[in-house]
Amino acid sequence: EAQVTQNPRYLITVTGKKLTVTCSQNMNHEYMSWYRQDPGLGLRQIYYSMNVEVTDKGDVPEGYKVSRKEKRNFPLILESPSPNQTSLYFCASSLGPSGPESRYFGPGTRLLVL
Amino acid sequence: AQSVTQLGSHVSVSEGALVLLRCNYSSSVPPYLFWYVQYPNQGLQLLLKYTSAATLVKGINGFEAEFKKSETSFHLTKPSAHMSDAAEYFCAVSNLGQNFVFGPGTRLSVLP
């Protein structure tokens, strides 16, 4: 089954404690991206990757890091989480960054930073 | 730059009534348009998309949308709402060479 998986689904942590949210896709997609969803703000893109070893900032990259060492994986790293990073996070993948290709989304990771 | 507006952050309809969720876009080149649905505690899933073939697009769960270039609109409709349609709906626009842009979303409530 074609899918995007994320782990963990729920995470509670404290300010400053480094964490990683994993994302994996099994569709051989070149493009992957991370979004955060906040009430009233919709979906905002954090980082994206056009291919292995190629990443770039989205609209709200501050406080986040990513890496793309393998085509299927695109982890999101919070080196020193702060309460304003409490949010719902989605990983997505697609064949390309734009055009008619649909984005496929993971189930989401709900993060609470105390 | 392209953009999407969705009129109404929250729409309520009675079960069995028509669902109409509005989406207007701005794009300098022919767009590709998408509707996604997000059920509670789930990720987004594709409902339907317009890719310059037929202007009336049918999707899953009885939804359809019509691309109207003159109105720069891509409204989502369903003739008869079901309780299971309660969710958040996102319109998105894309075109070659530019990123995917999501609208702010519309939360649909279905009243018994």
Asked if B66 and B56 count as a contact pair (C-beta separation under 8 A), the reply is: yes
* Closest listed residue to residue B21, CA positions, set B30, B11, B13: B11
**Per-residue pLDDT reduced to its tens digit, A26-82:** 999 999 999 999 988 889 999 999 999 999 999 999 999 999 999 999 999 999 999
Rounded Cα gap, residues B81 and A33, in angstroms: 33
**Per-residue pLDDT reduced to its tens digit, B14-39:** 999 999 999 999 987 888 999 999 99
Q: Residue A98 is nearest to which of B9, B51, B97, comparing CB atoms?
A: B97
Asked if B108 and B21 count as a contact pair (C-beta separation under 8 A), the reply is: yes
Task: Report residue B6: phi and psi, to 5°.
Answer: -125, 115
Rounded Cα gap, residues A67 and A44, in angstroms: 19
B61: DSSP letter: G
The residues of A whose Cβ lies within 8 A of any Cβ of B are 4, 40-43, 45, 48, 90, 92, 94, 97-100, 102-108
